[in-house]
Amino acid sequence: MLIELGKVAKFHGSPWLADVRTSFGHTAVRWCGDPAAKPGEYHVEWTIDEDIVWGWNAKPAVGTGPGLRTGGHCVVLRGRLSVTDDGATLLDFDGTNMLLDLVDPLPEDVANQWVELFIEREKVSLYPYLL
């Protein structure tokens, strides 16, 4: 996914955090690239390092379409859930798929629905790559 990187900063023992902007929102998340990265456009892979619990940090979305925003100490990601033939659960985040680790199986009626994930910002990571 192509994002607009603002500044990269470190606060009080936290990991490097990046100010990230997309066409559908902005927030700050963990930056796993060069801490000296300059502002500009970067292609990144998104990962979530937190177990997903339906009803706790995953809920039906308010609205449709991809979304990204700050919610207190959390990042709120809105995307469409899908389950692969082999049982893996993915969040389609504007065409980028993120593999999710579930604590329990999802309710049957949420596959292919818009959902919001509420994840601690240090547990959402961006890995830049070159095309």
Specify the number of domains making up the chain. 1
Place of tokens 């292919």: 112
pTM of model > 0.85: yes
Segments forming the whole domain that contains residue 52 = 2-129
Summarize pLDDT for 17-53 with one digit per residue, the tens: 999 999 999 999 999 999 999 999 999 999 999 999 9
Look at residue 32 in the predicted model and tell me its pLDDT: 97
